[in-house]
């Protein structure tokens, strides 16, 4: 991915940064509040990241546009609040929320890792994924991920494993326990059959039906297992209902749009100019409006809505499969309890002939082999994965320490984790060295194709000598690098005419006033390329 242009603005004020090169870029200024962080955050926000703008910047008032190349194919994304517009391979697509946008990224631009989260398979959100190559200036904590909340450190590691191609097993502990329990029951049943040449219907203990304590224990075990499965089913049903609701709304939108009716559920058809024949389509939160009087634009919007319907259809199908799986488990769990031979003999002395017992023994032996093979295969694969995960972690930590020792030969830090201990959070220059080492190591080991982006990469007074080593190390890769830096008076001009650096100078920017009216016309032209209608109040 090579970033070409970042724009932020509305009809009143805007700013456009288009001076990025493919290699090493440094945006510098002689003071803070010159707009470096706003540009970096606008870039990431347009890509679907959570907002971490300066508190003085009212980010909700603006549109954000990013242009980049992916495998030499241009991609343009615009975002306003939670709505997105994407232009890719001459196709225009619109999305009403981050979930739709995330699935579009995964299906069309680049694969996002999948992890097991809260018992469910989940494609990770951009806010977690982008942390493999991006470090912002604010909200940093070396002992945790950025914006910790829904995701945690374990999720980050699982994402890394998934991205590296280490298979994730999407089964719960309950599945494995059920297999083990089934094996145990079958072995006990087989033992009784072989001993007494009689068939049993369960592997309850010899205590039998008359034991109150045994009955209560079994009931509580079943209740606990049932509750776990029920919780999973309820959660999946909720997700499926949401997906179905959005699918239906988009189907209604598609139907109404084709017939040019006036009211929609997932979007709105309306007159752009009162009394005119111009027809417009708006995203659900009305962040974007498109003039669909043009057959070409209308066709693009129709295709985009059809794509969203397909996304939700795939999601519904996947969720239904998972729901059915848990329903089968629940049905099996709630089946009539098998009881011991001793208990059954209280009611009937003969249950089955010897021949039938022999047949049952063979059946049990066959099922046991299949279950044990499945369990062994699963356990062996999990052991292999554990080894692969450890090897991957060791490679990352090794690269982190190599990087650190290169820029700080006499330093006493040693990295054996992607996060510091909670009681020993890094600060100052150590924090900067930690994040630089981390991004370098992830790039070295994962060999991803994303740009390395760090806002204020010299935070903590990284010395000039160390800085040069850092730049040399990152220049070893073909990935685009975008750093920002605030220079001291004696450092002003240090990046000018340095062959390896594309210097983007913000020294002349007015503090707290990055956006201005002079960029509005060009910003509206960028919006026009995406068929976005932003009314201008300029005279």
The whole-chain average pLDDT of the chain stands at 81
Burial 405-433 (b: 16+ CB within 10 A, else e): eebbeeeeeebeebbbeeeebbeebbbbb
Q: How far apart are CA 204 and CA 188, in angstroms?
A: 9
Q: How far apart are CA 69 and CA 2, in angstroms?
A: 5
Q: 417-451: per-residue pLDDT in tens?
A: 999 988 888 989 999 999 999 999 999 999 999 99
Residue 175, φ and ψ in degrees, nearest 5: -60, -50
347 against 87, higher pLDDT: 87
Q: Which residue has the tokens 């024949």?
A: 277
Structure tokens at 329: 């488990």
Residues 317 and 309 sit within 8 Å (Cβ to Cβ): no
Query: What percentage of the chain carries pLDDT values higher than 70?
Result: 77
347 against 185, higher pLDDT: 185
Structure tokens at 363: 């059946």
Q: How far apart are CA 217 and CA 400, in angstroms?
A: 51
Q: How far apart are CA 472 and CA 24, in angstroms?
A: 10
**Is it the case that residue 207 has pLDDT exceeding 90?**
no
Identify the band that residue 520 occupies on the pLDDT scale cut at 50, 70 and 90.
very high
Strands of 289-291's sheet in order across:
268-271, 279-282, 289-291
Of the candidates 66, 71, 97, the one whose C-alpha atom is nearest the C-alpha of residue 84 is 97
pLDDT of residue 352: 44
Q: 396-420: per-residue pLDDT in tens?
A: 999 999 999 999 999 999 999 999 9
Q: How far apart are CA 328 and CA 345, in angstroms?
A: 31
Q: Which of 159-163, 346-350, 363-367, 414-418 has the weakest average pLDDT?
A: 346-350
- Name the region of 511 (left: φ>0; alpha: ψ -120 to 50; beta: rest): beta
439 against 325, higher pLDDT: 439
Identify the band that residue 538 occupies on the pLDDT scale cut at 50, 70 and 90.
very low
Q: Is the pTM of this model over 0.85?
A: no
pLDDT of residue 119: 72
The 10 Å Cβ neighbour count of residue 91 is: 13
The 10 Å Cβ neighbour count of residue 391 is: 12
- Using DSSP, state whether 26 is helix, strand or coil: strand
**Is it the case that residue 244 has pLDDT exceeding 60?**
yes
**Is it the case that residue 206 has pLDDT exceeding 60?**
no
Q: Please state the rounded mean pLDDT for residues 140-154.
A: 89
Q: How far apart are CA 118 and CA 151, in angstroms?
A: 10
Identify the band that residue 339 occupies on the pLDDT scale cut at 50, 70 and 90.
very low
Q: Residue by residue, what is the 3-state secondary structure of 486-509?
A: ECCHHHCCCCCCCCCEEEEECCCC
Which positions ≥6 away from 110 have C-beta within 8 Å?
A: 1, 70, 449
Q: Please state the rounded mean pLDDT for residues 347-353.
A: 43
Residues 313 and 112 sit within 8 Å (Cβ to Cβ): no
- Name the region of 175 (left: φ>0; alpha: ψ -120 to 50; beta: rest): alpha
Q: Which of 33-37, 70-74, 169-173, 471-475 has the weakest average pLDDT?
A: 169-173
Identify the band that residue 1 occupies on the pLDDT scale cut at 50, 70 and 90.
very high
Identify the band that residue 176 occupies on the pLDDT scale cut at 50, 70 and 90.
low
Half-sphere exposure of 374 (CA within 13 A, CB side): 15
Query: What percentage of the chain carries pLDDT values higher than 90?
Result: 45
Half-sphere exposure of 50 (CA within 13 A, CB side): 14
Burial 185-222 (b: 16+ CB within 10 A, else e): bbebbbebbeeeebbbbbbbeeebeeeeeeeeeeeeee
Which positions ≥6 away from 504 have C-beta within 8 Å?
A: 17, 19, 20, 25, 26, 27, 28
Residues 121 and 170 sit within 8 Å (Cβ to Cβ): yes
Q: How far apart are CA 369 and CA 362, in angstroms?
A: 11
Identify the band that residue 365 occupies on the pLDDT scale cut at 50, 70 and 90.
confident
pLDDT of residue 265: 42
**Is it the case that residue 344 has pLDDT exceeding 90?**
no
- Domains in the chain, CATH or no CATH each: 1-110+470-539 (3.40.50), 221-337 (1.10.287)
pLDDT of residue 318: 75
Cα distances (Å, whole numbers) of residue 365 to 179, 199, 359, 368, 372: 15, 14, 10, 5, 10
pLDDT of residue 273: 54
pLDDT of residue 361: 75
Of the candidates 146, 130, 135, 107, the one whose C-alpha atom is nearest the C-alpha of residue 48 is 130
Structure tokens at 88: 């890719």
DSSP 107: I
Q: Which of 39-53, 123-137, 194-208 has the weakest average pLDDT?
A: 194-208
Q: How far apart are CA 51 and CA 124, in angstroms?
A: 17
pLDDT of residue 236: 80
**Is it the case that residue 267 has pLDDT exceeding 60?**
no
Q: How far apart are CA 296 and CA 301, in angstroms?
A: 9
pLDDT of residue 78: 96
pLDDT of residue 218: 62
80 against 192, higher pLDDT: 80
**Is it the case that residue 535 has pLDDT exceeding 90?**
no
Rg (CA), the chain: 30
Q: Please state the rounded mean pLDDT for residues 500-525.
A: 94
- Using DSSP, state whether 128 is helix, strand or coil: helix
Q: 460-486: per-residue pLDDT in tens?
A: 788 889 999 999 999 999 999 999 999
Q: Which of 254-268, 342-356, 452-466 has the weakest average pLDDT?
A: 342-356
pLDDT of residue 415: 95
59 against 334, higher pLDDT: 59
């Amino acid at each position: 991915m090579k970033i070409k242009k970042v724009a932020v603005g509305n009809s009143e004020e805007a700013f456009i940064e288009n001076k990025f090169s493919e290699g090493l870029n440094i945006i510098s200024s002689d003071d803070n509040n010159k707009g470096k962080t706003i540009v970096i955050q606008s870039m990431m926000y347009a890509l679907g990241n959570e907002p971490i703008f300066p508190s003085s910047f009212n980010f909700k008032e603006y549109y954000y546009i990013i242009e980049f190349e992916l495998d030499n194919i241009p991609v343009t994304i615009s975002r306003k609040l939670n709505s997105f517009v994407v232009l890719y391979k001459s196709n225009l697509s619109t999305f009403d929320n981050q979930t739709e946008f995330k699935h579009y990224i995964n299906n069309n631009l680049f694969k996002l890792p999948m992890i097991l989260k809260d018992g469910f398979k989940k494609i990770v959100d951009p806010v977690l994924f982008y942390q493999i190559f991006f470090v912002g200036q604010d909200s940093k904590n070396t002992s945790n991920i950025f914006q910790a909340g829904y995701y945690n450190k374990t999720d980050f590691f699982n994402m890394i494993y998934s991205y590296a191609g280490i298979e994730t097993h999407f089964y719960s502990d309950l599945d494995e326990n059920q297999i083990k329990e089934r094996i145990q029951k079958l072995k006990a049943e087989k033992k009784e059959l072989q001993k007494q040449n009689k068939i049993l219907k369960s592997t309850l203990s010899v205590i039998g039906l008359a034991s109150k304590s045994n009955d209560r224990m079994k009931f509580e075990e079943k209740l606990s297992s049932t509750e776990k499965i029920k919780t999973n089913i309820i959660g999946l049903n909720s997700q499926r209902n949401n997906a179905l609701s959005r699918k239906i709304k988009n189907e209604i939108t598609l139907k109404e749009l084709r017939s040019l009716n006036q009211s929609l559920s997932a979007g709105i058809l309306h007159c752009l100019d009162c009394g005119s024949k111009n027809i417009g389509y708006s995203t659900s939160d009305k962040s974007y409006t498109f003039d669909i009087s043009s057959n070409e634009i209308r066709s693009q919007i129709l295709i985009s809505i059809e794509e969203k319907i397909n996304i939700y259809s795939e999601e519904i199908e996947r969720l239904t499969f998972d729901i059915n799986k848990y329903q089968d488990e629940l049905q099996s769990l709630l089946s009539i309890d098998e009881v011991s031979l001793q208990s059954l003999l209280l009611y009937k002395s003969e249950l089955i002939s010897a021949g039938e017992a022999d047949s049952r023994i063979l059946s049990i032996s066959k099922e046991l082999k299949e279950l044990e093979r499945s369990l062994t295969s699963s356990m062996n694969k999990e052991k292999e994965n554990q080894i692969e995960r450890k090897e991957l972690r060791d490679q990352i930590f090794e690269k982190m320490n190599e990087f650190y020792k290169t820029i700080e030969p006499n330093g006493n830090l040693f990295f054996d984790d992607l996060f510091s201990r909670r009681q020993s959070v890094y600060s100052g220059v150590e924090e900067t060295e930690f994040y630089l080492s981390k991004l370098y190591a992830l790039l070295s080991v994962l060999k991803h194709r994303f740009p390395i982006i760090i806002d204020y990469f010299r935070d903590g007074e990284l010395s000039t000598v160390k800085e040069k080593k850092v730049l040399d190390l990152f220049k070893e890769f073909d990935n685009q690098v975008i750093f920002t830096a605030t220079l001291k008076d004696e450092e002003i001009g240090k990046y000018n005419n340095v062959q390896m650096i594309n210097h983007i100078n913000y020294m002349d920017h007015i503090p707290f006033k990055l956006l201005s009216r002079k960029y509005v016309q060009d910003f509206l032209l960028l919006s026009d390329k995406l068929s976005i209608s932003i009314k201008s109040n300029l005279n």
